[in-house]
Amino acid sequence: MDYLINNFFSKTAFILFFNIIFSQLVFGQLLQKKISYDKIDSLRGHLYPERSCFDATFYHLDLEVDMDFQKIKGNVLIHFNIKETTKKIQLDAYPELKIQHVIWNNKKLKFERGKTHFYVYFPEKLAKNSSQKLQVFYESSPRKAKKAPWDGGFVWKKDDLNRLWMGIACQGDGASLWWPCKDHWSDEPEKGVKIEIKVPKPLFAVANGNLTKMDTSQEKNHFVWEVKNPINLYNVNISIGHYTNFNGMYASKVDGDSLQLNYFVLDYNLDKAKTHFSVVPTMLDCFEAWGGKFPFYSDGYKLVETPYLGMEHQSCIAYGNKYLMGYLGNTDYTGGHEFDYIIIHETGHEWYGNNITAKDPADMWIHEGFTTYLESIFVECQLGKEAAVAYINHHKDHISNTAPIRGDYHVAKEGHGDMYHKGSLIINTLRHQLDQDADWKNILKDFNKTFYHKTIHYNDVVQFFSNALKQDLSSFFYQYVSTASIPKLIIDWDTTNPKNKIAKVTLKADALNFKLKTYYKIDGKEKTIWLEKDKMIVLPFEKSFEVNTDYTYIDTIFKNR
């Protein structure tokens, strides 16, 4: 990057430039906002009658993976309940998936293939409230990811010993990239999933939940993994490699319950992983204290080494940070703290993203904002609140404020990549609207309890925190989440009378009826004040007046200073 630096760059300017560029590389997929949408976007993101008429309750995925030719084949058995009488349903499958046949009640059904979906036609009406099963047989040379996890697809690589290694990342593109399903965030199978995988010897296949069967006596190694809890389909995952396993138990500080810990790593990284992953119990202590019990005890906790950076696959977290601290060794990204960003961040998603899940990708800011904030909670557990607040404010250098972090609904589109760091600053600001900071921990625990294993909407978040903080926060969330800009404090100094200096403070915002608890110092004394949009407040001082922006995410504009 040296050729970009010239004599016009000061050291400070270069640091800011680097942080912005680094953020765009890290969150590249999320920064590419799509302005217009087509029918395909609508079919993926909207619940038309052919999708809303049924609710998927369980999936049994049975696949063979050809590692040499990078192909998959098999079937998925879908259990579903009929919510409205219908003879036609929509299932989702990317173009690379070749649907061979669809079976219902031992009959082959007619189906109509679209680009990213297909319609299934039944010979008779399916009665409302009836339970049904449908089996789809298919094969595919599935889409390959070019820059996983920032785009979706299979990652076919070789490990350091030149052996086959595979992982899947599909958060943005969806599970229908590699298996036919009802691919909408609002429909989590409440009875979980069963994942059967057959792979060439001597490879090992890891998936979500618990390993309930392993048969290595046949021509191919056969593994069966079962998830007991509801799971969002983009979290269903398979990793295949020359894995070895070590495990442990975590005793919850909440109630003493035992959580199975499992780690699947490439065999030559075993010793390194045992040392590096030792942070997990300490992290879980912290997260359970602030968010309630780990939400998936019956499915266990796993870290799985993958050929890409990482992803929050429920009970099966993808880990690819190369056993380094920070973000691939960049500890500036973790505020100078020596912890592994991927372990902390992706585990945080078990509470925010996997336990509490947005109904629509437009609200992906809920996943990423709260989880990025949870990184600071880990810092708070280790070093105290002052260090945590400093960690959060370190995020400001990564934010552009050029587009809302809330995306467009019904088109499977998330908001701007600012949702990570801006999201954490918004939640820090929300915390400091409270009169009693001690209440904040209980509010976060109640948030996870209230929406335990549920999918939620923007309005659910607004309503919950409005009730918890006992104030109408609709303008707060609209300003920070639904607009690109942040509030501004216009501070007009009047020091013409040395004995009666005043600061005229005016809050500017886009949202109607916006108000904000603001922190400041007068002559060295900490104070707070509630400011309302466009209403000027006059604050007299003798020696000094300072605005504390550590607790509120605002711009300060000084006039006549």
For the segment 52-70, what is each residue's pLDDT rounded down to a tens digit? 999 999 999 999 999 999 9
Q: 280-291 and 341-348 are packed helices; what angle lies between their axes, rounded to 10 degrees?
A: 30
For the segment 522-560, what is each residue's pLDDT rounded down to a tens digit? 998 999 999 999 999 999 988 888 999 999 999 999 887
pLDDT value at 34 more than 90: no
Q: What local confidence, expressed as pLDDT, does residue 560 receive?
A: 75
DSSP letter assigned to residue 409:
T
pLDDT value at 25 more than 60: no
Contact 113, 124 (CB under 8 A): no
Which is it for strands 97-104 and 221-227: parallel, antiparallel or unpaired? unpaired
Nearest to 389 by CA among 397, 377, 401, 398: 377
For range 242-251, the mean pLDDT:
97
Paired tokens of 366: 């809920």
**The two domains 351-482 and 488-559 share their CATH topology (first three levels equal):** no
Pick the CATH number of 488-559 from 1.10.10, 3.30.420, 2.60.40, 3.20.20: 2.60.40
Paired tokens of 420: 């990570």
Q: What local confidence, expressed as pLDDT, does residue 31 receive?
A: 42
Paired tokens of 300: 């266990």
Spatial distance between the Cα atoms of 229 and 238, rounded to a whole number of angstroms: 17
pTM of the model: 0.93
Q: Residue 112 burial (CB < 10 Å; 0-12/13-18/19+)?
A: exposed
Spatial distance between the Cα atoms of 279 and 49, rounded to a whole number of angstroms: 47
**Least confident stretch, 291-295, 304-308, 500-504:** 500-504
Q: Write phi, then psi, for 388 (nearest 5 degrees).
A: -65, -40
For range 8-29, the mean pLDDT:
38
Spatial distance between the Cα atoms of 398 and 19, rounded to a whole number of angstroms: 6
Q: Write phi, then psi, for 299 (nearest 5 degrees).
A: -100, -10
For the segment 453-476, what is each residue's pLDDT rounded down to a tens digit? 999 999 999 999 999 999 999 999
pLDDT value at 12 more than 80: no
User: Tokens 């020696």, residue?
Assistant: 543
Q: What local confidence, expressed as pLDDT, does residue 501 receive?
A: 87
* Helix, strand, coil in percent for the chain, rounding step 5: 30, 35, 35
For range 226-251, the mean pLDDT:
98
Spatial distance between the Cα atoms of 468 and 487, rounded to a whole number of angstroms: 23
User: Tokens 């904000």, residue?
Assistant: 516
For range 139-159, the mean pLDDT:
96
Q: What local confidence, expressed as pLDDT, does residue 493 receive?
A: 83
**DSSP secondary structure string, 446-512?**
HHHHHTTTEEE-HHHHHHHHHHHHTS--HHHHIIIIISS---EEEEEEE-SSTTSEEEEEEEE-SST
Q: Which residues contact 515 (CB under 8 A, 6 or more apart)?
A: 475, 507, 530, 531, 532, 533
* CATH architecture for segment(s) 351-482: Orthogonal Bundle (1.10)
Spatial distance between the Cα atoms of 214 and 206, rounded to a whole number of angstroms: 11
Query: 23 or 255: which carries more pLDDT confidence?
Result: 255
Domain ranges for the chain, please list them: 351-482, 488-559
Q: What local confidence, expressed as pLDDT, does residue 561 receive?
A: 62
Residue 19: pLDDT band with limits 50, 70, 90 = very low
User: Tokens 């509120």, residue?
Assistant: 552
Nearest to 194 by CA among 165, 228, 222: 228
User: Tokens 């007991």, residue?
Assistant: 228
Neighbours of 467 (CB within 10 A): 13
Nearest to 60 by CA among 103, 96, 115: 103
SS3 state at 325: coil
